[in-house]
Structure 1
């Protein structure tokens, strides 16, 4: 058995080595937590000075968009966004009133919440989209009367978006305040109108450095265009 002084010295060296290892551990990738908001209200992930600027137009009710987020986006982010080679900007292409509800809701909580909300809504798409039959006549009447915030708040309750957003730390009261936010509504509609003028016809659709790309459906296809 080591004498006490030598034992304590050895233990101190061991603790010091452990602390040094912890301090030397790589920090979380800064580009995957760097989020900016454009003048038009779109959210951008990654290096603002990235040489390749990728824009994704999407719909929250689009199955292909949910598939891309789950199965393709992680590889793209790992290869290009995390390395600072490309940034990813999300723009809305609203296809229907339920999509509008999800698009406005994704913005709730500020820019730091957006990409987590975005992922949550797409990963649970089959759950809430399957409940659209529950949208009541009273809620539908609000849409016909162009009471869009009333429609979105009613839809939020009737298709079960409350529990889904609570998992993101957003209470129903906070979510409903977001759905009544005219600035958020105008940003989503404005992006949709701008996308239509650019020639976006389906979702997901991608722009690379401002040029609309046809037939991009995978991270591999995006990678080929970015090299």
Structure 2
């Protein structure tokens, strides 16, 4: 009986230790980090383990063709090879370059953390279809010149063809307009942009940070790998 009692104590201690260390307990379902989403204190969106030892941040613009390339060519591999292990998290922050970019950034947030990365990828994949300022009417451009940001975004949503594009993500026109009117979301996007071009001094997009350190030379997975855990 004493041996059995000691075994029970040792087993309980091992299970507690495993839980504290974040180890998987036998029989427990593994955490699917590549489909685990959270929101940072800045209002940016994160996929992966929030407590990951390596935190990768991308400052992105929706009217930047290189950002679209990065999303298509680099992000899938980053998620499969690194984020899925729980050792790396990936965060997308905004560095807004123009009114079209701002409109898309607001739409990407529709649906919250569970919808963001799908929206983000869809907007990047369809960039060539909507990111064309030549589609905008003089009246819409005049709204932006007059400082009517919300009026500009609402009109751009229609004139750029973003209504049917976002409908492919299950977003109705009415829902999109509500998202574009989100004052708190707008402030977060503009604050991220201010920090990027101000204190961080970023010169363009995409710009990658790893654990808070800017790495302007990183443009794909090959140049990012030296900063990622083995």
TM-score class, shorter-chain normalisation, is 0.7 to 0.9
Displacement of 1:72: 1.1
Going from structure 1 to structure 2, the CA distance change for 1:28 and 1:58 (only over 3 Å counts) comes to farther
Q: Which secondary structure does the structure 1 equivalent of 2:82 belong to?
A: helix
Displacement of 1:28: 8.9
CA distance in structure 1 between the partners assigned to 2:91 and 2:181 by the alignment: 24
CA distance in structure 2 between the partners assigned to 1:76 and 1:112 by the alignment: 19
Equivalent in the alignment of 1:164: 165
Displacement of 1:214: 2.0
Displacement of 1:134: 1.6
Aligned residue pairs, count: 200
TM-score, structure 2 length as denominator?
0.84
Equivalent in the alignment of 1:205: 207
Displacement of 1:77: 1.1
CA distance in structure 1 between the partners assigned to 2:196 and 2:71 by the alignment: 20
Q: Could you give the per-residue CA deviations for residues 122-170 of structure 1, whole angstroms, max 9, x where no partner exists? A: 000011114x212011111111121111100101100100011111111
Is contact 1:107–1:117 with CA below 8 Å preserved after alignment? yes
CA distance in structure 2 between the partners assigned to 1:29 and 1:50 by the alignment: 13
Going from structure 1 to structure 2, the CA distance change for 1:178 and 1:72 (only over 3 Å counts) comes to same
Q: Which secondary structure does the structure 2 equivalent of 1:61 belong to?
A: coil
Equivalent in the alignment of 1:185: 186
CA distance in structure 2 between the partners assigned to 1:146 and 1:49 by the alignment: 40
Q: Could you give the per-residue CA deviations for residues 60-94 of structure 1, whole angstroms, max 9, x where no partner exists? A: 00000000101111111111101111000100000
Going from structure 1 to structure 2, the CA distance change for 1:29 and 1:161 (only over 3 Å counts) comes to farther
Picking from 99, 102, 113, the partner of 2:101 is 99
TM-score, structure 1 length as denominator?
0.85
CA distance in structure 1 between the partners assigned to 2:152 and 2:31 by the alignment: 39
Q: What RMSD in Å do the two structures reach over aligned CA positions?
A: 1.3
Give unmatched runs, 5+ long, in structure 2.
1-28
Q: Which secondary structure does the structure 2 equivalent of 1:82 belong to?
A: helix
Equivalent in the alignment of 1:9: none
Q: Which secondary structure does the structure 2 equivalent of 1:55 belong to?
A: strand
Equivalent in the alignment of 1:12: none
Q: Which has the larger radius of gyration?
A: 1
Is contact 1:76–1:223 with CA below 8 Å preserved after alignment? no
CA distance in structure 1 between the partners assigned to 2:214 and 2:201 by the alignment: 8
Equivalent in the alignment of 1:141: 142
